[in-house]
Amino acid sequence: GMEGLSVGSVLLTGCDGGLGLGLLKGLLEQPSPPRHIFAACLDPQGKDRGHQPVPKPSCPLADVTDPNSIKAAVGKVRAGVGSAGLNLLINNSGTTRRSTLATETAENMSLVYTTNTIGPLQTSQAFLPLLKEAAEAAGQREMSCSRAAIINISSILGSIEVAEAWEERQDLCYRCSKAALNMLTKCLALEYGSRGILCVSVDPGHVTPPLEQGMGPVTLEESVRGVLQLLAHLSATSNGTFWDWRGQRLPW
């Protein structure tokens, strides 16, 4: 159906541009938009965001790799949502470095892993109490993004089985960080599923820099529309799984 994603509160990281801003806009345009939307970005003043018609991000989570920054964001969200808790955490912060097997470095690997894998771990740990409150507060027993969920924005480049686009882009640091993020999703699902919190990895089809023509969604809007439609339909059977923007299940 086209009823859209109906969720009380959302925290979205990585809203500085691209997919993050697209998802923010898409959430606000849902038939019943979230009552509370916390858009976390590196530049809360928004001076680098150009003239896009989106509201000022409300949550200066400057750095998903900095526990103090995350703690401040938790306080801000708690003040906004109260005992209703946080329904949906979208871990969208990510970075990449172009590399080949021959040029990959320890520095690249550490930097990208810290943001792409450790960041979502720390954010998920910190927001667990608020997600648990939402899971318990919801009248509904079924798992869903409307009740309580952690969505990790991953990439098909992290799929070990598919090993997509090796000729176009080796980017070991990025692939390894996303494969590790997918394992994190599985671990979160195993640990938090019994508490009513749904945990899923999603490939939005948009990697930075873009892959060759024809390998993903044509536009950012198409990607966002697909991701939000997917989120509206996820349920208990999807806990600990990997999906793409078309609503297709991906192999790990």
Looking at residue 97, its pLDDT comes to 85
Looking at residue 212, its pLDDT comes to 61
The predicted-structure confidence for 204-252, as pLDDT tens digits, reads as follows 997 555 656 656 677 888 999 999 999 999 999 999 999 999 999 999 9
In whole angstroms, what is the distance from residue 9 CA to residue 146 CA? Answer: 9
pLDDT tier, 49 (very low <50, low <70, confident <90, very high otherwise)? very low
Closest CA to 204 of 229, 186, 185, 184: 229
The predicted-structure confidence for 91-122, as pLDDT tens digits, reads as follows 998 888 889 999 999 999 999 999 999 999 99
Looking at residue 51, its pLDDT comes to 45
Residues 193-196: contacts with CB under 8 Å, at least 24 apart: 193/143, 193/236, 193/239, 193/240, 195/132, 195/135, 195/148, 196/135, 196/136, 196/138, 196/141, 196/143, 196/147, 196/148
pLDDT higher at 66 or 247: 247
**Strand 9-12, strand 88-91: pairing:** parallel
pLDDT tier, 60 (very low <50, low <70, confident <90, very high otherwise)? low
In whole angstroms, what is the distance from residue 164 CA to residue 215 CA? Answer: 9
Write out the two tokens for 106.
């320890």
Tokens 């959302």 — which residue? 10
Helices 119-137 + 172-192 axis angle, to 10: 30
Question: Cα-flanking dihedrals φ and ψ of residue 243, to 5°?
Answer: -130, 160
Looking at residue 215, its pLDDT comes to 62
Q: Is 12 helix (H, G, I), strand (E, B) or coil?
A: strand
pTM of the model: 0.91
Looking at residue 96, its pLDDT comes to 85
Looking at residue 8, its pLDDT comes to 94
Domain 9-249, classified CATH 3.40.50.720, yes or no: yes
Domain ranges of the chain: 9-249
pLDDT tier, 42 (very low <50, low <70, confident <90, very high otherwise)? low
In whole angstroms, what is the distance from residue 23 CA to residue 74 CA? Answer: 21
Looking at residue 225, its pLDDT comes to 94
The predicted-structure confidence for 146-202, as pLDDT tens digits, reads as follows 999 999 999 999 999 988 888 888 889 999 999 999 999 999 999 999 999 999 999
Residue 2 has pLDDT above 90, yes or no: no
Looking at residue 122, its pLDDT comes to 95
Name residue 91's beta-bridge partners: 152
